[in-house]
Amino acid sequence: MRESFMGMDSISISDAKHPSEVGEPNHPSVSSEHAVQTATLQKPYRRKRVLEWLQDQVPEKRLQHILRVEAMATQLAQHHGLDTEKAAQSGLMHDLAKNFKAKQLLKMAEMEGLAIDDVFMANPHLLHADVGAIVARDEFGIYDPEVLAAIRNHTLGSPEMSPLSCVVYLADGLEPGRGSTSELEHLRQTSLENLHQAVWLTSDYTLKHLLTNSNLVHPRAVLTRNWAMQEALHQQKTKKKSSKTI
């Protein structure tokens, strides 16, 4: 039976993986002192605490998107036999830094020692995924490298990213609030069948939007697309060879 993600509430949001994002209201910084205290305590993940923080920091429309990503990431993880708890954590925390101001994103990325290239300088908002992983670690005591990577990779992806990162990347771009066009429905169905092919085709979908609107494209997005395409084509080739030998 064909599975679907459209059972979740759908609210139209038009900011899927491209630079035309919502505004950047003021946001309190994560102080170094608090970060040290949190790191020392290593507080376990608490969904309620994260939700309360998000409710105070992001608009309701953004929060609804986050909840749909959490739900779809969990569903995809379950379908593909992955850790559903990690998927839920990554989905809920993927946009922690979404509404940070450009200066704050650049400052936190620099303090973390992240490479800031010309595209990031021109569009600092692309750093919200990498900075979001910093907030997850310092504010909420998340140290699981797979969860932190999934948060970091949800916008641009990354070559060789884990299946969990693929799941969160796809959930962010394909959650029901993104729309219900035939192309999006096809991508959602593909996400159930093959994660690498879904990342490849979703990357193509995003890149087409960026190019049509004359937006900058970060090299990492292209590297992610090429990696996913090669993985998917290799899997198809291997499958054809195995079917011939049977």
Number of structural domains (the chain) is 1
What is the residue-averaged pLDDT of the chain? 85
97 found inside a domain: yes
Task: Specify the amino acid at residue 148.
Answer: L
Token duo for residue 80: 């593909």
10 found inside a domain: no
Q: How far apart are CA 90 and CA 148, in angstroms?
A: 7
Count H helices and E strands in the chain, helices first.
12, 0
Cβ 95 vs Cβ 132: under 8 Å = yes
2 found inside a domain: no
Domain that holds residue 92: 32-245
Q: Which residues contact 237 (CB under 8 A, 6 or more apart)?
A: none
Longest alpha-carbon distance in the chain: 62
- Residue 245 pLDDT level (bands cut at 50, 70, 90): low
Closest Cα to residue 74, out of 62, 98, 90?
90
- Digit-coded pLDDT (tens) for 9-35: 333 223 435 333 333 333 333 333 333
Closest Cα to residue 13, out of 209, 132, 177?
177
114 found inside a domain: yes
- Residue 45 pLDDT level (bands cut at 50, 70, 90): low
Task: Specify the amino acid at residue 141.
Answer: G
- Digit-coded pLDDT (tens) for 143-195: 999 999 999 999 999 999 999 999 999 999 999 999 999 999 999 999 999 99
Q: At what angle do helices 128-140 and 32-41 cross, to 10 degrees?
A: 60
232 found inside a domain: yes
Closest Cα to residue 104, out of 28, 50, 216?
28
pTM value is: 0.82
Domain with residue 65: its CATH number is: 1.10.3210.10
213 found inside a domain: yes
161 found inside a domain: yes
102 found inside a domain: yes
